[in-house]
Amino acid sequence: MLRTLARPMLASMFVAGGIDALRDPSGKAPAAADVAEPVKDAVPALGTASNEELVQLNGIVQVVGGLLLAFGKMPRISALLLAGSLVPTTLAAHRFWEHHDPQLRANHRIHFLKNLGLLGGLILAMLDREGEPSLVWKAEHAVDHARIAADHAGDKALASTALAGQQVAHTVGRARTAAEHAAERARTALEHTGEKALAGAALAGQQASHTVQQARTAAEHAAERTRVAAEHGLERARENAEHTGDVARLRTELTKKQLTPDVTDAAALIRKVRDSRAA
């Protein structure tokens, strides 16, 4: 609301002065002669323009810039145009330090200070961003945002590095754990294999001992059977020898008696021999 009122108030002086310059450029041309040459040197395109044309051109800039500022159209650019037209106008028409008449000197000093105040208002209008941050503020905050983004990127990089380090440590820990488990399984397998080997050796020893025991038992049985068989053989041989001896003695006695014994006598003789042997 305040801008809507302040801009037309600030622009009114320029619109009125621009219209007056367009209507009567000749009245202002002599005063413009002192600044015409510096302006032509600064803008080579105006090198052939007369003083009246320069006054009219300045009036056009003031009217157009004033209307744009009054209606809020491109206010910063229009304020810049008005400030550019105000400086040469003030230096041309109100150089109070060159006047010796006190009254004239005071009059031009008032107009000079008035135009200086207008220039200050135009500068404020150029800097007014209608609540938006200024370019300087944006530049400073862009630097701050860039620094914050860089810090954030650095933090993310550090976090990523730390995470990668944790992952590497976790991987190394898993590898070490797997190696320990593999070593434990290998040791267990070796112990189990050793136990199986010992058990196999013990079983083989037991089997060998059992075989030896069986062989010894078989040998003992064989020796016992041999001894019994030998004893039986000796007994039978002795009996046979005794029987043969009995028969021989019988034959000797029969021969001595020169008898022909019958079966009854022979049987009786044999019983007699056996009874005498048993006695």
What would the 3-class secondary structure string for 55-100 be? HHHHHHHHHHHHHHHHCCCCHHHHHHHHHHHHHHHHHHHCCHHHCC
Percent of the chain at pLDDT exceeding 70? 69
Mean pLDDT of 117-131: 86
Q: What is the pLDDT of residue 198?
A: 52
pLDDT of residue 201: 44
- Taking the CA atoms of residue 62, residue 63, residue 69 and residue 75 in that order, the dihedral angle to the nearest 10 degrees is -50
Of the two residues 234 and 126, the one the predictor is more confident about is 126
Among 4-18, 36-50, 259-273, whose mean pLDDT is lowest?
259-273
- Give this prediction's pTM: 0.46
Question: Tell me, what's the pLDDT at 209?
Answer: 65
Between CA 199 and CA 197 the distance in angstroms is: 5
Q: Is 138 or 107 the better-scoring residue by pLDDT?
A: 107
Question: Dihedral, CA atoms, 242, 246, 247, 250, nearest 10 degrees?
Answer: 170
Average pLDDT, the chain: 77
pLDDT for the residue 26 = 83
CA 242 to chain centre: 115
> Could you tell me which of 237, 247, 246, 232 has the C-alpha nearest to residue 278?
246
pLDDT-wise least confident of 83-87, 154-158, 259-263, 271-275: 259-263
d(CA 39, CA 16): 23
Mean pLDDT is lowest, of 4-18, 62-76, 257-271, for 257-271
More confident site: 274 or 128 = 128
pLDDT tens per residue across span 83-93: 988 888 888 88
More confidently predicted of 189 and 19? 19
Residue 197's pLDDT is: 47
Other CB atoms closer than 10 Å to residue 192's CB: what's the count?
A: 10
Residue 211 has pLDDT above 80, yes or no: no
Nearest to 13 by CA among 166, 117, 128: 117
Task: Please tell me the predicted confidence (pLDDT) of residue 60.
Answer: 92
Going from the C-alpha of 51 to that of each of 39, 40, 45, the distances in angstroms are 11, 10, 14
As given in the structure block, the two tokens for residue 38 are 């510096």
Q: Residue 117 has what pLDDT?
A: 93
What pLDDT, on a 0 to 100 scale, did the predictor assign at position 61?
92
Mean pLDDT of the region 208-217: 67
Task: Using alpha carbons, select from 276, 274, 275, 273 the residue that is nearest to residue 252.
Answer: 273
Kindly report, residue by residue over 29-52, the tens digit of the pLDDT: 787 777 877 887 778 777 777 888
Q: How confident is the model at residue 200 (pLDDT cuts 50, 70, 90)?
A: low
Q: Is the pLDDT of residue 229 over 60?
A: yes
Angle ∠(95,64,110) on CA atoms, nearest 5: 25
Q: What confidence tier does 152 reach under pLDDT thresholds 50, 70, 90?
A: confident
Rounded to the nearest 10 degrees, how much is the dihedral formed by the CA atoms of 207, 209, 215, 216? Answer: -160
The answer to whether 18 touches 60, Cβ cutoff 8 Å, is yes
| pLDDT score of 148 more than 70 | yes
